[in-house]
Amino acid sequence: MSQPYLIAVDLDGTLLKDDKTVSIQTKKVLKRAMEHGHHVVISTGRPYRGSEQFYHELDLTTPIINFNGAFIHHPKNPGWGRFHSPMDMDVAQSIIETCLEFEVKNVIAEVLDDVYLHYEDEFIINSFLIDKTNLNIGNLIQVLPHNPTSILVRPNDHHVKELRELLKAKHAEVIDHRVWGAPWNIIEVVKAGLNKAVGLKRVAESLNIPQERVIAFGDEDNDLEMIEYAGHGIAMGNAIPELKNIANGITKSNEDDGIAYFLEDLLALKESV
């Protein structure tokens, strides 16, 4: 076959249907792509613990990009390297203070798979696949022991835009922040300069895949740089307008096998009848 493609998939709203499962058809087409010699990589804002099951379900053999590029590693090959880019503690504490002064519902700091909650919060605990043994609850200014990989902020829904503007005004040079779509309305904060494209570029180079042979699928604002970087940056049918505006193409929605639909056509993966 000709040189392989690298296929990067976001999880929520992209690979996953709204019920957080991978459709049979999408799974089939991705496996067929791998049988044809192409590579599939997960690129997500989720931590590894929240994406590991899909990595194994698809039987991937690639690195995985978590926390929007703040953590990249290879689950099946420790020798590949482990790239962790947390934010500095003084920056993290300043952000936490800004958010608490804003009277948000909660602030969550993640140090890889260890989770630190400022307030007890059943919604967060139940929604974020948190292993209770890795969970710590208490004043983050006092209990956070290490530089965090990311900080998640749960503002009141009507304050999301206002808080993002405040974070930008006070901390723009040291952090990047994105919003998770409904039903979360969570603001995710990572170290400045990190995004999914940074992680995807690292993976592509390790596999000797040129940029023009990278296909990336996404739906939210944390996918913007990845979609711009990829030779084929594809927005899902359910994607936000800003992503559709910069994408090379638009496929069907996550509920309608958008990934499978696009790949079958581009990579000639349709099953012969």
Residue 272 has pLDDT above 60, yes or no: no
Find the helix or strand (DSSP H, E) in which 162 lies: helix 160-171
Rounded CA-CA distance 13/224 in Å is 14
Q: Can you tell me the distance from the alpha carbon of 9 to that of 32, in angstroms, rounded to the nearest whole number?
A: 15
Average pLDDT over the chain, rounded to an integer = 92
Q: Helix (H, G, I), strand (E, B), or coil: what is residue 238? A: coil
Picking from 240, 217, 248, the residue whose alpha carbon sits closest to that of residue 40 is: 217
What percentage of the chain reaches a pLDDT higher than 90?
75
Judge if 18 and 144 occupy the same domain: no
Residue 268 pLDDT more than 90?
A: no
pLDDT tens-digit readout, 185-212: 788 899 999 999 999 999 999 999 999 9
Checking if the pLDDT of 5 tops 70, the result is yes
| pLDDT at residue number 156 | 86
Residue for token pair 């099953």: 271
pTM to 2 decimals? Answer: 0.92
For residues 21 and 269, the model is more confident at 21
Averaged pLDDT, 9-16: 96
**pLDDT for the residue numbered 131:** 73
Residue 78 pLDDT = 94
The pLDDT of 5-18, averaged and rounded, is 96
Number of domains in the chain: 2
Asked if 18 is an active-site residue, the reply is: no
Catalytic residue (one of 10, 12, 114, 257): 10
Host domain of residue 169 = 89-191
CATH of residue 179: 3.30.1240.10
Residue after which a domain boundary falls, among 191, 226, 253: 191
Mean pLDDT on 116-120: 93
**Cα 119 from Cα 122, distance rounded (Å):** 10
Give the pLDDT of residue 55.
98
**β strands within the chain, DSSP E:** 6-9, 39-42, 64-66, 71-73, 82-84, 106-111, 114-117, 135-137, 150-154, 175-179, 187-191, 214-218, 232-235, 249-250
Last residue of a domain, one of 138, 168, 191: 191
- Tell me how crowded residue 37 is: count the other CB atoms within 10 A of its CB: 11
Same domain, 41 and 117: no
Could you tell me the two tokens for 50? 């929240």
